[in-house]
Structure 1
């Protein structure tokens, strides 16, 4: 059995995967919110995946680290991926990758800015995910003005990040993403866009770059280098987001609680997400004791309570997606018939 420990509010990262694409994984996977993590002390066997550490307070990290230590000492058949304290978070990881000559860009705390900071830069919270493009700040005056507004931004641990991406010869920026799950890695996507800040493309991958995406997913060309970076970060489960500049990997982050599949399926999808779900499931099922049915009644009850909440939320989300994509399908069909 796999026990996935994360923040209760962010269990959605597994929702589409468990509820729609690989329902069979519900037999091997348990969601464990951090406030119920002490229930892991009753396990006889399984793999525990620690995630979401960037969202924990110092007190919570201390408690989770102590529990991880006890599991290691007292439950030899419980394997652990990641560590609540020893796995690198964003800031320390980016500092290390720059110091080791992997990244060409640096990251700083607002109260420790060097004179030789390289512009442009942007502000980023070390905690959680960024959903909107940060403003690129071109000079110290712009940065100072932005820092003065930090209290209104409610960042938990703000960072000043030097801009480290670059458009390719075709004018497009690219974001690559690959997973590590234990001893396995697999490539998930290569997204391209004219804008530097790239998230899920939503309407699908650009036709002009679809082949590159598919080739990347098939070949996983950077696997050895990425595994070495995961090792540097002491992260054995997570998704690494990066780009290529001058033939070199430039890492943006390693997310320990990444969304496996963002959207539930609809009849109007233009691409099939099942291959990506299968890659993730195959990697999970290769973990030690993954198929061992050992669990506890308390952990099972917690998991199914969380899953029931997710099921209600994702039914609503799927209905909205069906309506939105259905209307778009009809519109495109009508427009197409006029030509």
Structure 2
């Protein structure tokens, strides 16, 4: 059994597996929340995936790291150590330092002075589509940050990111998605749109030539090894990298530890249909590789942050929020 741990309200991302609409068989798969896990004194035998880490507050992240150690001490297999998995900004800074990305990222509340322009703003913690406004120079950026604060928008939690995007083909822009599940890598799909800031993409804009390229990329697992290095640097063993190409080289925009995989659908284009089937099959095989035999539960040890409740109560209580 595999258990995906997310923040409340965000367990829908891999709901297609639970609903039987994933398209291919998978191991037993459950979803739970950090709130529930923080109070558990026993845990079912399973592999635990710590997802949605970017949405946790620093306090919750400490509890999650403590829980990770309690589970591993009890003999469970766990993916994504909250103490090691890099945040969005830490990852982007590390990828630039490693020479993978040619662009930088800065926290907006630190008087950022980007090395290159244009730049754009995005949130550090959520997955709402960033605004596509580009700021061409330092003065324009400084003025924008002043306006945001004056309008009542806190700068904490905002990132300033140097743009690194270029047209993909036929006047369209593209973003690729590649999963890592344990040791397995799987190129999943392409998303294309008419704007440089591709979020969901538009299926109607996938031409025959683009479908052929996606088909080749998925079946050959084209980006698996270049993207694996980004996961290794980020200390992330489960998630999806959103990446593209800039200056003839792969660049990684983020790694989402709780990415969405919707219901399986048969594309009208046979090339896209086969690519979709191959990607889903490969993902299911990767889940099989991290699966743990279920049955029964194991007591979790108390830890510095998760102390037992009084003897007549059941469960654990975390420390008071500082």
TM normalised by structure 1 equals 0.77
Matching residue within 263, 282, 285 for 1:282: 285
Cα distance in 2, alignment partners of residues 246 and 95 from structure 1: 19
Aligned-pair distance for 1:173?
Answer: 2.2
Seen in structure 2, the aligned counterparts of structure 1 residues 2 and 239 have a Cα distance that, compared at 3 Å, is same
Cα distance in 2, alignment partners of residues 137 and 258 from structure 1: 29
Seen in structure 2, the aligned counterparts of structure 1 residues 122 and 72 have a Cα distance that, compared at 3 Å, is same
**Equivalent in the alignment of 1:112:** 110
**Equivalent in the alignment of 2:240:** 239
Pairs within 5 Å for 1:1-339: 1-22=1-22, 28-38=28-38, 41-43=41-43, 45-73=45-73, 75-76=74-75, 78-113=76-111, 115=113, 117-131=115-129, 133-151=131-149, 152-153=152-153, 157-168=157-168, 170-204=170-204, 206-207=206-207, 208-261=209-262, 265=265, 272=273, 273-289=276-292, 292-294=293-295
Aligned-pair distance for 1:180?
Answer: 0.1
Cα distance in 1, alignment partners of residues 84 and 30 from structure 2: 23
Structure 1 counterpart SS, 2:109: coil
Contact map agreement 1:191 1:213 (CA 8 A) in 2: no
Structure 2 counterpart SS, 1:49: strand
1:88-111 CA deviation, whole Å, 9 max, x = no partner?
011000001111111100011123
TM normalised by structure 2 equals 0.81
User: 5+ residue gaps in structure 2?
Assistant: 298-322
1:218-266 CA deviation, whole Å, 9 max, x = no partner?
11112122112111100000000111123322110000000012x575x
Seen in structure 2, the aligned counterparts of structure 1 residues 288 and 116 have a Cα distance that, compared at 3 Å, is closer
User: 5+ residue gaps in structure 1?
Assistant: 297-339
Cα distance in 1, alignment partners of residues 141 and 135 from structure 2: 6
CA RMSD, 1 decimal: 2.7
Contact map agreement 1:177 1:187 (CA 8 A) in 2: yes
Seen in structure 2, the aligned counterparts of structure 1 residues 85 and 156 have a Cα distance that, compared at 3 Å, is farther
Aligned-pair distance for 1:155?
Answer: 6.5
Structure whose residues are more often helix by fraction: 1
Structure 2 counterpart SS, 1:21: coil
**Equivalent in the alignment of 1:304:** none
Contact map agreement 1:18 1:25 (CA 8 A) in 2: no
Instruction: Give the number of aligned pairs.
Output: 291
Aligned-pair distance for 1:204?
Answer: 4.4
Contact map agreement 2:219 2:278 (CA 8 A) in 1: no
